[in-house]
Amino acid sequence: MKKGWKKGLAFLGAAAALMVVLAGCSSGKKDNSVKKIQDKKTIVVGTSADYAPFEFPIVKNGQKQVVGYDMLIAQKIADNLGVKLKIENTEFPSLISELKNNKIDMILAGMVSTNQRKKAVAFSKSYYTVKNVLLVQKKDADKYNTVASVKGQQIGAQQTTTQEQIAKNQLKGSNVVTEGVLTSLTTELSQGKLAGVVVENEIADNYLREFPNKYAVAKVKLTTPKDQRSVNVAVRKSDKALLKRINKVITKLQKDGEMTKLFKQAQDLQAKYGTK
């Protein structure tokens, strides 16, 4: 009887060990996404450089380039893989299809991991948290305090972003105007063609810092749905090994406190080289 028990336990133990091994295999060890990138010696990041301090164009030593917080993180990912970073700058609305069509290997574009996007791509762990506000002209700082006060007004939001949904769902009665490039909307705001633009808080902060006499944040309260708050790297769903590496890099940057430094570094770059 006793012996039988022992045998049974040993069998269960072996079965459990086998299951652990099998689980290890199915969690992406066989996918060759990392090897593919290392073979071509380059990782291509897709972004939309209209989003300082996350990604924006500068002219340095007479050369145009795209820099920012996301690009600094992307560079860390490339370094970890031992490959070069190539930046593919495109409009935000086409990023997910470019990823699916293998034009890019990952997206870093201040992109939040909405439930809807999760159906199409895989997201890394979060590296930043955002909420939404209405950016207005400074002279209108106290004009738009309620949803009712925005009624009938032209409100901008970047196409296919969470800002578009928030503007349409929450600023009822306003006319929502969308563009593929965010900076077109903020230009229209500064020209008085739009009453406001829905943006994330850190983007608004950035405009206020750069142009303190031009813009303000309106008092009207916007709600940022839970699945629209965390900014993540996106990769193809099949690229499990790559995703694992990216998560490792993010965890390390967060533990070191370096993630916060990179954000500051991006702001400094903008102050120094950004186009006014």
* 166 is a contact residue toward ligand ARG (CB under 6 A): no
The residue range among 148-156, 158-166, 186-194, 233-241 that interacts with ligand ARG, by the rule CB under 6 A, is: 158-166
**Which is closer to ligand ARG, CB of 149 or CB of 178?**
178
Tell me the closest approach of the beta carbon of residue 46 to ligand ARG, in angstroms. 10
- The token pair that represents 184 in the structure block: 């077109």
* 253 is a contact residue toward ligand ARG (CB under 6 A): no
Tell me the closest approach of the beta carbon of residue 143 to ligand ARG, in angstroms. 25
* 161 is a contact residue toward ligand ARG (CB under 6 A): yes
**Which is closer to ligand ARG, CB of 154 or CB of 230?**
230
The residue range among 12-20, 22-30, 155-163, 170-178 that interacts with ligand ARG, by the rule CB under 6 A, is: 155-163
Is 136 within 8 Å of 188 (Cβ atoms)? Answer: no
CA atoms 263, 266, 271, 275: torsion sign: negative
* 162 is a contact residue toward ligand ARG (CB under 6 A): yes
The residue range among 47-55, 76-84, 134-142, 241-249 that interacts with ligand ARG, by the rule CB under 6 A, is: 47-55
Q: What whole-number distance in Å separates Cα of residue 171 and Cα of residue 210?
A: 27
Mask 173-212, x = binds ligand ARG (CB under 6 A)? ---------x-----------------x------------
Binding residues for ligand ARG restricted to 49-68, rule: CB under 6 A: 50-51, 54-55
Interface residue list for ligand ARG (CB under 6 A): 48, 50-51, 54-55, 92, 109-112, 158, 161-162, 182, 200
